[in-house]
Structure formats: C-alpha cells, structure tokens
Amino acid sequence: MLAIRKAEDRGVSRFSWLDSQHTFSFGGYMDPKNMGFSDLRVINEDRVVPGAGFGTHGHRDMEIISYVIEGELGHKDSMGTGSVIRPGDVQRMSAGTGIMHSEMNASQENPVHFLQIWILPEEKGITPSYEQKHFAPDTRQDQWRLVGSHDGREGSITIHQDVSLYAATIAEGTHLTYNLSPNRKAWLQVVKGALQLDGQTLKAGDGVALADLVSLSVTDSDSTPEVLLFDLAA
C-alpha cells in the first residue's frame, strides 16, 4: 500500500501570526479519514512571524517533536528547560503526567518555519522529560540518519514509543532505498524540494503512508530534497 497525502489537501489554520498546515486532524480541522497513522498523530507545518508564537499552554501523555526547517524556535517549559532550536536540531518533549511550555519565534526579524510532530506514547503517566540533539548536515547527506528511536541508539533522541525516525537530504542523482521489516508501516514526509518515490513525484509538504512493502526507493528529482521517514508499528 502506498497512499499519498498531498500538501494542498491538508487542513489549514491561518492567523495574523501563524500559518499552519495539518497533515492529520488537529484543533478545528477534523477529517475522519486522516486521524493519524499508526502511532503518528500530528504533523503540523508551522510558519510563525517574527517575535510571535505559541504562548504558555499545557500538554500531557504525548511525545512532541520539533524539527526546524528555517529560522529559530525558542522553547521554555515548566521543567525549567530553555533552549533555541535551529535547523539540524531535533527536540523531543515527553509531556507525560503534564507539562506547561511555550514555543516562540526566537527572532524579532525573521520568520520561523518548523514541523511539530506528535507521537502517541507507549504508556500514559510517565515522568515529563526533554531532549534536544543536533545532527550535522553531512551525517544526513545521501543516507538515512537515525535521529529518533525507542532506545536512543546511534546517538538519536529517545522516543517513548516503538518508532524509528530518520532524516535525509538527497543530492541530485542519488538513489536511496529503505527496507521495511515485516509487520511494520512507514510514513515519508517531504520537508523540502521535490523527489521521485517509486516512480511518483512528491513535493514539499506531501506525505506518504506505506505498508505491505518490502522496500521503498527514493530518488532525487531536480532539486535537493529533505525528507523524514517514520518506521512505525503495524
């Protein structure tokens, strides 16, 4: 099974300070056919104007991952964590029993463009925690770089769920293959650029649900695409 979720078909929330596009149902956008995929619950592509953002609000029982595409995202939470997330960084916040946090554009001059990703945790009521790591561009160039996993292997962030998250940037003419294990699913999200996936053209914002495949093949198109791949429980 290969099902494409086109960028233009996503839900949209627009305010004076925010342009947000929802791959799955979120907030005021409800689509019973797109409630998530396996344990992947939210992929929001957010653009926030300078100096604005999501003020202090609460979460619980969710693994929340931030992936900055352009700009700088400021983070503060009730655990006392304060950080700035930049391109190449992957941040994970486990809301667990409950946490308050804010996400603000750290720049007063430039917009910030990022993905907010929610993954259902393997169990409820865990102790809230925070983790952030940087993955240099050369470690993701023309290869699948593990940036998140259940056990934190290979220097990845730890996600409290049976999921492996990979990032890759693909140079012109490069061909990448990923072998999907039996009884697993995958979601491919195009972050930047355009590419070919098993003969189909995908562009930034497109997502693809994959199941019952032995492998998938990603080939660069006429750009330098950046992609995320979620290896998920069936």
* Tens-digit pLDDT profile for residues 162-221: 999 999 999 988 899 999 998 899 999 999 999 999 888 999 999 999 998 878 888 876
C-alpha–C-alpha distance, residues 193 and 32, integer Å: 29
Q: Is the pLDDT of residue 223 over 90?
A: no
For the stretch 60-83, pLDDT in tens is: 999 999 999 999 999 999 999 999
pTM of the complete model: 0.96
Domains in the chain (CATH in brackets) are 11-134 (2.60.120.10), 138-233 (2.60.120.10)
Q: How far is CA 227 from CA 33, 109, 204, in A?
A: 24, 27, 9
Residues 6 or more apart whose CB falls under 8 angstroms from that of 158 comprise 92, 131, 148, 149, 150, 151, 152
